[in-house]
């Protein structure tokens, strides 16, 4: 089998190395660390091989369990041996912002496990990340409490109101099956952590102040901004709470 000649870039250092096309990515990383001193900058688990592209969204991390020939590499291709960790700013619904180190090669699903664990949320599968974009000014007629309060007492009008309201479906949720890079999320961006799925109230730990506060803020804001329409009487009751 003809050897595959690849350029391995580590910072400002570029070395040409020969690999068997059937070499697993995990083994290729090990060989790189053995032959290039600059590759010994940290724990092996923090680094990986990255195939860059002119379009940042198309750059991909090579999976450790796949062979080099899976990626149809050609002689002369340049691979980056680089750190997979990147800082990610997460904004909570109460306005606080936390910076968490995440694995750039992981999908959003895997990343949420890390994020929720660092924050102290156990039911990570019910949460998701929202990419915040500039929203258009909301129509005056699509709020929960407006000038005509009797509108919300009429069930038929309430249904029509629901159709006009901004719902969770309109939020710019990130795709759980793709990486941040594939979705064009840059390091300077701040993502919103929000509960998306409500499987069971049993998943809510009444002794967990972090989760209770997030749920309270999300429920409060959804009522106030009209995402969750309620009757006038209920609105007054919630205002009392």
Q: What is the pLDDT of residues 155-207, one digit of tens each?
A: 555 555 545 444 455 678 999 999 998 999 988 999 999 887 654 555 556 66
| Residues 6 or more apart in contact with residue 148 via CB below 8 angstroms | none
Give the pLDDT of residue 32: 96
**Domain(s) of CATH 3.10.20.90: residues in the chain:** 4-83, 86-134+166-240
State the pLDDT at residue 31.
96
* Segment (H or E) for 91: strand 85-91
CA contacts within 13 A on the Cβ side of 112: 24
CA angle 129, 134, 135 (to 5 degrees): 95
Give, to the nearest 10 degrees, the angle between helix 232-240 and helix 209-224. 140
Residue segments in the chain with a per-residue pLDDT below the cut of 70: 1, 133-170, 197-208, 210-212, 214-215, 218, 226-228
- Architecture (CATH level 2) of domain 4-83: Roll (3.10)
* Residue 159: per-residue pLDDT: 56
Whole-number Å distance between alpha carbons of 182 and 67? 21
pLDDT at site 140? 43
Tell the burial category of 211 from Cβ atoms under 10 Å away from its Cβ (0-12, 13-18, 19+). Answer: buried
Q: Give φ, ψ of 77 to 5 degrees.
A: -65, 145
**Calculated CA dihedral for residues 181, 187, 189, 191, nearest 10 degrees:** 70
Sign of the CA dihedral running 153, 155, 160, 165: positive
> What is the predicted pLDDT for the residue at 217?
74
Fold of 86-134+166-240: Ubiquitin-like (UB roll) (3.10.20)
Q: Report the pLDDT value the prediction gives residue 58, as an integer from 0 to 100.
A: 85
CA nearest 108: which of 18, 44, 182, 10? 182
């Amino acid at each position: 089998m003809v050897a595959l000649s690849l350029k391995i870039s580590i910072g400002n250092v570029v070395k040409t190395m020969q690999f068997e096309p059937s070499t697993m990515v995990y083994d290729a990383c090990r060989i790189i660390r053995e032959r290039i001193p600059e590759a010994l900058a940290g724990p092996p688990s923090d680094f990986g091989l990255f195939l860059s592209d002119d379009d940042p969204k198309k750059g991909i991390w090579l999976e450790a369990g796949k062979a080099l020939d899976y990626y149809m590499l050609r002689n002369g291709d340049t691979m980056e041996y680089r750190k997979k960790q990147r800082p990610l700013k997460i904004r909570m619904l109460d306005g606080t912002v936390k910076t968490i180190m995440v694995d750039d090669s992981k999908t959003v699903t895997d990343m949420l496990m890390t994020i929720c664990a660092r924050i102290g949320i156990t039911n990570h599968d019910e949460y998701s990340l929202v990419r915040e974009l500039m929203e258009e000014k909301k129509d005056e007629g699509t709020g929960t409490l407006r000038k005509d309060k009797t509108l919300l007492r009429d069930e038929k009008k309430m249904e029509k109101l629901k159709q006009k309201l901004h719902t969770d479906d309109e939020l710019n949720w990130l795709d759980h099956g793709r990486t941040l890079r594939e979705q064009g999320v840059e390091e300077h961006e701040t993502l919103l952590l929000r509960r998306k799925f409500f499987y069971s109230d049993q998943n809510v730990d009444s002794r967990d102040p972090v989760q209770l506060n997030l749920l309270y803020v999300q429920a409060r804001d959804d009522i106030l901004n009209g995402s969750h329409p309620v009757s006038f009487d209920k609105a007054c009751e919630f205002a009392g709470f």
